[in-house]
Amino acid sequence: MKMPFDAQSDTSDDALLIAFGNGDRLAARILTDRHAPRVIGYAARLLKDRAEAEDVAQDAMMRLWKIAPEWRTGEAKVTTWLYRVVTNLCTDRLRKKRGTGLDEIAEPEDGKPSQDAVLMQKQRVAALSAALDTLPDRQKEAVVLRHIEGLSNPEIAQVLDIGVEAVESLTARGKRALAKALADQRETLGFEDDTA
């Protein structure tokens, strides 16, 4: 007996979600495999806590499963809906944590670079993380969604429930603020001085 979907399937997210809404558990597994890693990564960047990010991702996926039977194709992309839910869940958690320090630094990706490269990467991640933390929440969300997660401006507008022009403004202001915050660290972080 041939299964209607497999893990390598080109089946759209909408079709998979509708299939799950009709009782196909394999469709849910494929959607989870496709999107959970990126959703966890996004949440971890916002929360600075991998365990909390996994909880948020699980909560978002559970909400997706609950709405599956009523999903209407064409109203929103599944990914956009997920990022919006994750953004809201992270915002709620961060509001509850206000007043407590978030000094944890995300660990760099595993690999086999030299120790100097590992140390430099840690310094760069720490500097970027610290600079991102100085941005207002909406700017930080827009910058991370655009430049780290790779979403388009219209997708970010849907996630954040704002206009495309507002997204462009948020990302432009966020990039300028990051450049200013990191300007005096160029040499320390191993970047060549372009003015020479």
Q: What is the tens place of the pLDDT at every residue in 67-101?
A: 888 888 878 888 999 999 999 999 998 888 765 44
Please say if the pLDDT value at position 11 is more than 70.
yes
Q: What is the tens place of the pLDDT at every residue in 27-68?
A: 889 988 999 999 999 999 999 999 999 999 999 999 988 988
Q: What is the tens place of the pLDDT at every residue in 95-119?
A: 887 654 444 444 545 556 666 666 7
Task: Give every CB contact of residue 50 below 8 A, 6+ residues apart in sequence.
Answer: 40, 44, 106
Task: Give every CB contact of residue 73 below 8 A, 6+ residues apart in sequence.
Answer: 14, 18
Output the pTM of the full model: 0.61
